Amino acid sequence: MLEELQQKAKMDKNQIQRITEFLKEYNFIAMDETKKKVKLDKIFQKFFTQTATS
């Protein structure tokens, strides 16, 4: 959930909204507005995983 992401990242609501809107605009994430959930795109998730382990 967005609230959980906000807490873990230690950012305020506006910062999280700006970041998620950017990622959504470029199809890095899919958002469920009603449930306030965010899901990484599979390609971005693969890239992120490879980058984090390199």
Could you give the count of Cα atoms lying within 13 Å of 14 in the half-sphere of its Cβ?
0
| pLDDT of 53 | 67
| pLDDT of 54 | 62
| pLDDT of 25 | 92
* Number of domains within the chain: 1
Question: Containing domain of residue 36, as a range?
Answer: 2-53
| pLDDT of 7 | 86
Report which of 45, 37, 32 is spatially closest to residue 5, judged by C-alpha positions.
37
Q: pLDDT in tens for each of the 54 residues of the chain?
A: 678 878 888 888 899 889 888 988 998 888 887 767 888 888 877 877 776 666
